[in-house]
Amino acid sequence: MNTVIKTDFNFPGQKSVYKGKVRDVYNINDELLVMIATDRISAFDVVLPRGIPYKGQVLNQIASKFLDATADIVPNWKFATPDPMVTVGRYCKPFPVEMIIRGYLTGSSWRSYKKGAREICGVPIPDGMKEHQRFPEPIITPTTKAETGHDEDISKEEIIRQGMVSAEDYELLEKYTRELFARGTEMAEAKGLILVDTKYEFGKSNGKIYLIDEIHTPDSSRYFYLEGYEERQANGEPQKQLSKEFVREWLMSNGFQGQPGQQVPEMTDEFVQSVSERYIELYEKITGEPFQKADVTGVLQRVEKNIREYLKNR
């Protein structure tokens, strides 16, 4: 289906390549990062066997738009998007924490709350809340960035105590996180959406903090539909979500939750196509713009050519 599920490029000045679940990141001379949003898709910490057409383009272009729309709040790593699936930006040393901010009690925070937890990452949570209820104020619940396995919840105090981030830098990370979330919330509301929770990653270059990686994409964020939110909440009904949750639901309904010994169910052409259509729908809803499909004939060659031209001419 002309998808990019693997890259193996060798660019001038290339020092290393990091391959994540979804992104391939090329380090050029410790100066630039070339981030390719592939068409891989993961769920339950497992990369699924087939790529999703246009998924990389969707994620890259959403992130690019939100980086541009928030550059007045915090400087970010992006220099250019030389290809629909590629962002090139400043090489930064990442902080070893992810800044997760939650506006609503949902997902893993609700699961902990239901078991009796009344604080997450050292942040107290009031009694008597319902699933998907809005917090009085958004809460920041950082996690460690695990090299392997799962990220772990951690408190602000522990981050500073362990020297993962200095107290001074952490204050800035919190400030930026709140301001970015407020901007994302406004932009979502204008499109009839609620930005429920999201994560931000930051890094440093020459002593200055930059926003790095992706931002406000359906892979890093959860959205609800604004219309009908209050009614569904009042009636105890599930909220309408705009995220890749539907992929997890399909896997679970086919007996897969990433447990040892479980087999990924067969991804038929029809299923792969339906996931692609959902990602395109996500793009159009989040950005309010029609999605322009890039020409995917010889897509790997196109990606490599556009990156090489950018590196040669910058």
The SS3 of residue 96 is coil
Q: What is the pLDDT of residues 27-61, one digit of tens each?
A: 999 999 999 999 999 988 899 999 999 999 999 99
**Average of per-residue pLDDT across 5-16:** 97
| Residue 197 burial (10 A CB sphere; 0-12, 13-18, 19+) | buried
Chain-centre distance for alpha carbon 226: 21
Q: Write down all domains in the chain, each with its CATH number in brackets.
A: 14-91+256-313 (3.30.200.20), 94-242 (3.30.470.20)
Res. 107 pLDDT band, cuts 50 70 90: confident
Q: What is the pLDDT of residues 284-303, one digit of tens each?
A: 999 999 999 999 999 999 99
Q: What is the pLDDT of residues 211-239, one digit of tens each?
A: 999 999 988 999 999 999 999 999 999 99
**Average of per-residue pLDDT across 110-114:** 92
Indicate the pTM of the whole model: 0.92
CA distance 197 to 244: 14
What's the confidence (pLDDT) of residue 164? 96
Is the C-alpha dihedral spanning 177, 179, 181, 184 positive or negative?
negative
pLDDT over 80 (residue 62): yes
**Average of per-residue pLDDT across 159-164:** 96
Higher pLDDT, 128 or 218: 128
**% of the chain residues with pLDDT over 70:** 98
Mean pLDDT of the chain: 95
**Average of per-residue pLDDT across 93-120:** 94
Residue 20 structure tokens: 């994540």
- Tokens 């009614």 locate to 231
Q: What is the pLDDT of residues 252-262, one digit of tens each?
A: 999 999 889 99
Within 13 Å and on the Cβ side, how many CA atoms surround 148?
0
What's the confidence (pLDDT) of residue 149? 60
Res. 150 pLDDT band, cuts 50 70 90: low
